[in-house]
């Protein structure tokens, strides 16, 4: 069966990647400007943090997309969705890791994805505070800055307890429903796990710092760039659960990284549910 993304020419994909990188530059500049002048911090209804940098960065992104690509949709964490039903949909999390950003920890990132007919076409994860930018585009490979990414699978027998995996801490498995059994199963299987609450874990899975990582019950914008980045680097990305929560929309759980580790983690999760 043909992949619908083949409907987008290679030349067009290159043009859209160039646009995405320009948008990432613009987001980084907007965020940096707001940081320099000072930003306000408040809480959303779910008690998560939001800053004026989150909102203004997304607003600037949306304005630019709407001017350059008026027929395309936009979905963002802070300002919702526009032009629903468009074949092309830009997805943005302007600052993934707002709590870390607010505390001046550099592991936050800007996530930008472009999906075509609900399939990931390209993605960018930009850690501006660390000078690391990863991007992947369908059929064009994945890169960290200028270096091409190649995920090497684990050797037989190395996908087990000694593998380094990243996952949210226990609190990330307690809302909106209790999935602590999944957390405990993964921790028992991988005692050398690392806990991350930002897209830096995704970057580490793509660049080799982790053998695999996972997200649990998270909105689409948190994973908007990850699937295409991992797959174009030669890794494996698996959706392990999709849930619709009234009032919150769809939440997604996924495992990604070295294929053998991802396969084992997915089976552990399946058995724990």
Tell me the domains of the chain and their CATH numbers.
4-148 (3.30.540.10), 165-272 (3.40.190.80)
Q: What are the pLDDT digits (tens) for 90-121?
A: 999 999 999 999 999 999 999 999 999 999 99
Q: Is the pTM of this model over 0.85?
A: yes
Structure tokens at 139: 């059929």
Q: What are the pLDDT digits (tens) for 113-172?
A: 999 999 999 999 999 999 999 999 999 999 999 999 999 999 998 888 899 999 999 999
Residue 200 is predicted with a pLDDT of: 98
DSSP assignments along 207-246, one per residue = HTSSSEEEEEEE-GGGGTTHHHHHHHTT-EEEEEEEEEET
Is residue 226 within 8 Å of 123, Cβ to Cβ? yes
> Strands 212-218 and 132-137: what pairing?
unpaired
Question: Is the Cα torsion angle 266, 269, 271, 273 positive or negative in sign?
Answer: negative
Q: Tell me the average pLDDT across 174-181.
A: 93
Question: How many degrees, rounded to 5, is the angle at CA 188 between CA 182 and CA 189?
Answer: 90
Q: How many CB atoms lie within 10 A of CB 80?
A: 11
Determine what percent of the chain falls in helix, strand and coil, rounding each to the nearest 5: 35, 30, 35
Percent of the chain at pLDDT > 90 equals 89
Q: What are the pLDDT digits (tens) for 65-82?
A: 999 999 999 999 999 999
Confidence class for position 1, pLDDT limits 50, 70, 90 = low
Q: How far apart are CA 138 and CA 185, in angstroms?
A: 34
Asked if the bond preceding 214 is cis, omega within 30° of 0, the reply is no
Q: What are the pLDDT digits (tens) for 219-248?
A: 999 999 999 999 999 999 999 999 988 877
Q: Whole-number mean pLDDT of the chain?
A: 96
């Amino acid at each position: 069966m043909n992949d619908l993304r083949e409907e987008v020419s290679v030349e067009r994909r290159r043009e859209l990647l160039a646009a995405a990188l320009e948008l990432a530059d613009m987001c980084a500049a907007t965020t940096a400007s707001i940081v320099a002048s000072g930003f306000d911090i408040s809480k959303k209804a779910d008690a998560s943090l939001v800053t004026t940098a989150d909102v203004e960065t997304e607003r600037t992104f949306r304005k630019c997309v709407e001017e350059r690509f008026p027929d395309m949709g936009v979905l963002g964490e802070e300002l919702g969705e526009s032009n629903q039903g468009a074949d092309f949909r830009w997805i943005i999390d302007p600052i993934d890791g707002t709590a870390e950003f607010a505390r001046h920890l550099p592991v936050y990132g800007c996530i930008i994805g472009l999906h075509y007919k609900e399939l990931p076409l390209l993605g960018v994860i930009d850690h501006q505070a660390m000078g690391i930018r990863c991007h992947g585009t369908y059929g064009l490979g994945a890169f960290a800055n200028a270096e091409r990414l190649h995920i090497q699978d684990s050797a037989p027998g190395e996908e087990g307890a000694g593998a380094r995996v990243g996952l949210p801490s226990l609190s990330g498995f307690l809302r909106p429903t209790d999935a602590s059994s999944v957390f405990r199963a993964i921790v028992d299987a991988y005692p050398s796990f690392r806990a991350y609450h930002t897209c830096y874990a995704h970057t580490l899975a793509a660049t080799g710092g982790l053998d695999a990582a996972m997200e649990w019950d998270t909105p689409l914008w948190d994973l908007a760039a990850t699937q295409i980045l991992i797959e174009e680097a030669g890794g494996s990305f698996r959706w392990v659960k999709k849930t619709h929560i009234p009032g919150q929309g769809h939440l997604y759980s996924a495992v990604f990284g070295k294929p053998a580790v991802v396969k084992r983690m997915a089976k552990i999760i399946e058995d724990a549910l």
